[in-house]
Structure 1
Amino acid sequence: MNPFAVNALICARYFLRKRRNRRRRRYHVHPILVERLLEGEFCKLFSRLQEDEEKFFDYFKMSIRSFDELQARLHDILKHSNMFRAPVQPIERLAVTLRYFVTGETFKDLHFSYRLGASTIGEIIKEVCKKIWTLLHEECLSIPNSQEGWLRIAAGFENTANFPNCIGCIDGKHVRIICPKYSGSLYSNYKKFYSIVLLAMCDCDYRYTYINVGAYGTDSDSNIFRRSSLFTKLHNGEIILPPPKPLPHTTEPLPYMIIGDAAFGISNKILRPYARSNLTHKKKIFNYRLSRARRYIESTFGIMSNKFKIFHRPMNTSLPNTIAIIKACCLLHNYIRERDGYRIQDTLTVLGFDQSLNTNSNNSRSGDTIRDKFSNYFVSPAGSVPWQDTCIF
C-alpha cells in the first residue's frame, strides 16, 4: 500500500478517536450564570445599597454621588451590544471592577457572587481600567502646568508640615505580583518576593501628582526616577517651576525642592535626609523636619492600600493588566479623595506595599549646599518649631 495512504489512514483514525474521546460541553452557558439577572450579587444587592449611604461607602469605598458621577461619565464608552444574549451593562461593569479593587478577591470568587464567567470578569476589569485612565487621567492625576499650581502645593506643605519651598514628596513602593513567565530574577526584589515598583509624588492633601508604574523590582528608586518622564521634564525645563524664593523671615532665595528618603540621590531638585552616622544636632533636626513632611507620601500609599485591598495580596494578572490596575487605583484614589475626603484611620498604617531599597550613594555638591541652608534655617529662630528638640531624642 502507498505509504502516504497509510499515513493518511493513521492520522484519520487518530483524529476520529480523539474526537470521540473529547469531552462534550454540557452547557453553552452554565445554569448558575444564566441566573445572573435574578440571583447575581449586583441585581440583588445594588438597589438596596443605594438606600444606605454608609453601607454603599463600605461596599464600594466611594459615596453614592461619586459613583453615579463616575458611571455616568463612563456609560457611553463601556456600552456593548450583543444580538444573541443580554450584554453586561456599564453600571454592572463598573461595580464588578470596584468590588475587585476593594475586596482583593480573585476572578473566581467574583464569578460565583456576580454570576459572571471568570474570563468575562477579567476582560471587564481590563477594559474598565483602561477606560478610566483614558477618560480621567488628565483631570484627576497630572503635574501642575503653571507656577500657580506649584505655589499652591508649596503653600500647603508650609502650612501643614512646616516645610517651606516643597513642591512634593516622592517615594517608591513595591507592589507584589506573581512572577511573570521567563522573567528570571528581574522582578525579585531585595525582600525576596516578586514585585513591580510604583514611583509616586504627592501633595499635602494626600493626592498623587505623578506616578510611574512598572519598573522591575530589582531597580532602585533613584534609577527609576532618573529614567522617568518627571526627571526628564524637570531637567529639560519643560516643567514651569516658580523662581527661587527666600524662606520665611529670611532674605536669601532658595529653590523649590522635591523631598524624598535616603533611596534618592541628592541634587538641586531633590532633598534627602543626612546619613544616620555621626549626626549633629542640626542634622537631626533637619532629618526630623524632612521626615515630618515626607510622611504625606507614606500616608497616601496607606490610604490607597487600605481602601483597595487588591494591594494586600500578590496580583495574579498579566503584567500589562497589573500595570493598568495600579494606574486605575491611583487615579480613583485621587477621584475619591477630591470628592469624599478620607478617613483618619486610613492614614495610620501602610499595608500592601514595601519600601524600595536604597542603592544610590551619589551626592551633588549643589544639593548638599541647599540642604545645609535648609538645615541652618530649621535650627534658627526664624525656622524652628517649638516641639522639634523633644522629637529627636
Structure 2
Amino acid sequence: MKCPKTPEEWNDVAKRFASKWNCFNCVEALDGKHIAIKKPEGGGSLYFNYKKFYSIVLMALSDAKYKFLFVDIGAEGGAGDGGTWQKCKLARAITNNRAGLPQDRNLLNYDEPIPFHIVADDAFALNTWLMKPYSHQPQDSTERIYSYRLSLARHVVENAFGLLQMRWRVFETTMQQDVQVCKKITLCPCVMHNLALQRCPLAGTDVDYEDQHHNVVAGTWREELLNLME
C-alpha cells in the first residue's frame, strides 16, 4: 500500500480519475467504515458509534481503480468520520503543504487554476483540497452536473469497501479481540484487497458503472453481499 508523495505520483492518480470518471484534478476518494468490535474494557463509550454498536474506524482513500492508497485504522467509533480524518497524518500533511500535491492547474476551457483535491461526502469538512457534492436542494443544471460527477468519483471508495466486505467475511462479524488486535485484523484484508486487484482484475459489472445514458448501474458485489448476509 503506497500513498503518493510527489507531484508526479499524484498526477498519475489524477489522470486515472479524469479518464475513468471524468473528474479532473481529483487525486483520491475518501470515506470511513465502522468495524464492529466487542465493547472494550474501560472507555467503551468512546467506541459506541451513531449506528448504535461498538466500533473502530477504517479511514481509507482509494484511487480510481478501487485500490487503497492510504488507510488509518483504530480511531474510536464515537469520533465519527470527519473528526477521525482531521487527526490522520495524511490530513495534517495536506493541511501543512507536506503531502506533495501538485500546483493548482487550469481545467480544459477554464482559465482559473483549480486545486488538486480529494472527493468525499457530507461527513467531511469542505476545503480547497477536499470537495463534496452540493447539499442544498433544488440545484440548477450546473450544480447537478457537478454533484453527479463528484459523487460518481466518490463511489470508488464505497465500492472498495463493498468488495472488501464481500471477500473477507470477518467484516460481517463482531470482532472479539482487543482493539490492538482488531486493528491488525482489519489492516491485513486491506493489503490483500490491493493484491487481489493486481492479480485478478475486476469485470466491468463487478462494481458500479455509468451506462450510455449516464445512469449509475449497481455493481454485482452489492447483490452478492446481500446474499451473503441472508
> One-letter code of the match for 1:315?
M
Cα root mean square deviation, aligned:
1.9
CA distance in 2 between counterparts of 1:249 and 1:166 reads 17
1:299 touches 1:347 (CA, 8 Å); kept in 2?
yes
Of 233, 251, 275 in structure 1, the residue corresponding to residue 111 of structure 2 is 251
1:185 corresponds to: 45
CA distance in 2 between counterparts of 1:344 and 1:241 reads 30
1:324 corresponds to: 184
Helix, strand or coil at the partner of 1:338: helix
1:111 corresponds to: none
Q: Deviations over 1:255-276 (max 9, x none)?
A: 1110000101101110011114
1:39-50 residue pairs with structure 2 within 5 A? none
Q: Which has the higher strand share?
A: 2
CA distance in 2 between counterparts of 1:243 and 1:156 reads 18
Q: Which has the higher helix share?
A: 1
Query: Could you tell me how far 1:343 is from its partner in structure 2?
Result: 5.0
Of 98, 112, 117 in structure 2, the residue corresponding to residue 238 of structure 1 is 98
1:15-54 residue pairs with structure 2 within 5 A? none
Quickly say closer, same or farther: Cα 1:304–1:216, change in 2 above 3 A: same
CA distance in 1 between counterparts of 2:138 and 2:110 reads 29
Task: Provide the aligned length of Structure 1 versus Structure 2.
Answer: 213
1:10 corresponds to: none
Quickly say closer, same or farther: Cα 1:316–1:228, change in 2 above 3 A: same
Which runs of 5 or more structure 1 residues have no equivalent in the other structure?
Answer: 1-140, 349-385
1:1-393 residue pairs with structure 2 within 5 A? 141-342=1-202, 346-347=206-207, 387=213
CA distance in 1 between counterparts of 2:38 and 2:17 reads 37
Helix, strand or coil at the partner of 1:220: helix
Which runs of 5 or more structure 2 residues have no equivalent in the other structure?
Answer: 217-230
> One-letter code of the match for 2:94?
L
Query: Could you tell me how far 1:307 is from its partner in structure 2?
Result: 1.0
Helix, strand or coil at the partner of 2:45: coil
* TM, length-normalised to structure 2: 0.86
1:246 touches 1:252 (CA, 8 Å); kept in 2?
yes
2:49 touches 2:80 (CA, 8 Å); kept in 1?
no
CA distance in 1 between counterparts of 2:80 and 2:107 reads 32
Higher relative contact order (CA 8 A, sep 6+): 2
1:88 corresponds to: none
1:245 touches 1:254 (CA, 8 Å); kept in 2?
yes
Identity among equivalent pairs (%): 31
2:227 corresponds to: none
Query: Could you tell me how far 1:344 is from its partner in structure 2?
Result: 5.3
Q: Deviations over 1:51-82 (max 9, x none)?
A: xxxxxxxxxxxxxxxxxxxxxxxxxxxxxxxx
Query: Could you tell me how far 1:342 is from its partner in structure 2?
Result: 3.1
CA distance in 2 between counterparts of 1:310 and 1:346 reads 21
> One-letter code of the match for 1:265?
A
Q: Which has the larger radius of gyration?
A: 1
> One-letter code of the match for 1:311?
F
Query: Could you tell me how far 1:338 is from its partner in structure 2?
Result: 1.6
* TM, length-normalised to structure 1: 0.52
